[in-house]
Every structure is written in C-alpha cells, then in structure tokens.
Amino acid sequence: MNRVFTGIVLAIVGLGSVFELHAYTVVIMLIACGALMELQALTAKNGQPFVAPIAFVASLAYLFLAMVGSLARYEGVLLALTMVVALAVSMFGERRGYLVRSAATVLAVLYVGKLLSYFIAIRREPVLGSALTVLVIFLIAGTDIFAMLIGKNFGRTKLSPISPAKTVEGAVGGLIAAVVLGMVFAVGYPGYHLVYWQGAFLGAFTSIAAQVGDLVESALKRDAVVKDAGTALRDHGGVLDRFDSYLFGGVGFYAALFLLARLPTEYM
C-alpha cells in the first residue's frame, strides 16, 4: 500500500504540473537534483565521485535553456564549458583517478541534464506540448507497470545478467502494452493527428528506449554493488530507481516524433 500511495502522489504531482511550463520545469529540476545526488553516491562507492557543483549547475542549465527554447543555440558552449571546468576543478581532488573523476562529471551532466531536457522540449511543442507530454508519461508508465506484472506472473526467461529480476516475457509484455496504449491514444484523440500505426510506432520506440534505460541504471547499481540507488521514495527506492526508464524513454519518444515528422525543425 505504501508503494501504491507513493506512486499515486508522484503521478498527481507529475501530471498536474504538465499544464504549466514553469511548474513542470521545476518538477523536472527536482528530479534531476535527486538523480544527481544518488548518482554521485554510486560513483563514490567506486572510489571516484564526480564533482557535484559542476554537475548540478550544468544539468540545471540544460533544463533552463530547454525551457526558454535556447538549448539548441547554446548547448555546444555549455557542454564545452562543462568539460573544461570539470577537467580544471578535478585537478584539486585526489592525485589518482583524475581522468575518471573528470569524465564522470561530464557523463553525469549528459545522463541527467541532457536526457531530461527532452521532456521539456516535448512539453514546449507549440501546439500539442501538454498532450504529447501526457502521452509519453503514459507510455513509459504503461511499460513499467505491465513489464512488472507480466514478469512476476509469467516470467521464465532471464532478460539480462545485469538485472536478474527482469525477464523476456516481462519486456515483451511492457512493449505490447505501450504499443496498444499508443494506438488507443492516436485513435481516441484526433488532435494528435496520428493514425493507429503511428501511435504503435511511438509506443514501441518509447518502450524499447525506456527498458534500455532501466537496464542501464541496473548496471550502474551492480557496478556500485547496491540494490537500490537510494531511499528517497521509500518503497520505490531512489529517484533513479523510479525515473530510470524515463531518462531514456523521453529521448526515444522525441526521436520517434522526429522520424514521424511531428516536430518543428527548429527544435532539432
């Protein structure tokens, strides 16, 4: 019941913020901060935590620039500055592990700040931003829920040694659920201007990306030899545990929209 209650609260806050860009951006920024705190703890267990101030500032800058529609213009400068400052500041840490510490800082910014910026880019779509954001949230949530349900009840074949609890049956169940949801949204809401196969394509692309994101976060935890990335969300584990599939799923959804020519060219 605690897990269900936490999930309901997260859903209400997340979906409720979608309809106001600034509130939505604040929610994404809070998720980014929680994810970075847990990611730093994971890297610390391997002996070389990334430089947190740089990662936090650069990640939040990614999200702010995405909100004001200037990320495409300034991203190159932001990324270059992040790398230069990370290399410079990392020299003041331990003498060993300099390269790992610097690289982990840049990777943390890309993994959290860059990937979450796609959710803001989707929300900023001038005509259907709110509707598309609701759709991507439902597709990823549907993937997670049905992958868990099918995997627990019918799973027999292990999907990957990285995450022993995940099964091929669960992954297929999550994929089918997202495809069906995509078709239902496409047919049920004409405002999307999508036919059923396009909805299915969005669902499949998003679901596969989301499940890869889940496995990537599992690999990070196995590398640090921990079960959960954190305890911030109680029975859900940490922020990364809850939103790992969203990090990759948002990119998958955005890429699918681009392939379907459903995004303005200036957003790329």
Query: Residue by residue, what is the 3-state secondary structure of 170-205?
Result: HHHHHHHHHHHHHHHHHHHCHHHCCCHHHHHHHHHH
- Yes or no: say if 42 and 223 are a contact pair by the CB < 8 Å rule: yes
Can you give the pLDDT at residue 268?
A: 41
Task: List C-alpha distances in Å: 41 to 34, 111, 120, 221, 225.
Answer: 11, 15, 26, 10, 12
Place of tokens 């989301």: 210
Residue 6 has which token pair?
């936490």
Can you give the pLDDT at residue 225?
A: 76
Can you give the pLDDT at residue 256?
A: 96
Query: What are the backbone angles phi and psi of residue 156, rounded to the nearest 5°?
Result: -130, -35
- Yes or no: say if 134 and 112 are a contact pair by the CB < 8 Å rule: no
Is the pTM higher than 0.85? The answer reads yes
Residue 216: which domain range?
A: 2-267
- Yes or no: say if 204 and 185 are a contact pair by the CB < 8 Å rule: no
Our count of domains for the chain comes to 1
Alpha-carbon dihedral angle through residues 108, 130, 214, 4, given to the nearest 10 degrees: 120
Can you give the pLDDT at residue 258?
A: 92
pLDDT tens, position by position, 216-254: 998 988 887 777 666 665 665 788 988 999 999 999 999
Can you give the pLDDT at residue 60?
A: 98
Measured distance CA(256)–CA(268) in Å, rounded: 13
Measured distance CA(170)–CA(157) in Å, rounded: 9
Task: List C-alpha distances in Å: 118 to 57, 133, 188, 203, 225.
Answer: 18, 10, 25, 17, 30
For residue 90, the 8-state DSSP code is G
Q: Which region, left, alpha or beta, applies to residue 189 given φ > 0 means left and ψ of -120 to 50 means alpha?
A: beta
Can you give the pLDDT at residue 6?
A: 63
pLDDT tens, position by position, 43-61: 888 777 899 999 999 999 9
Longest dimension (CA), the chain: 60
Query: In the chain, which stretches have pLDDT less than 70?
Result: 1-8, 228-236, 264-268
Measured distance CA(33)–CA(56) in Å, rounded: 7
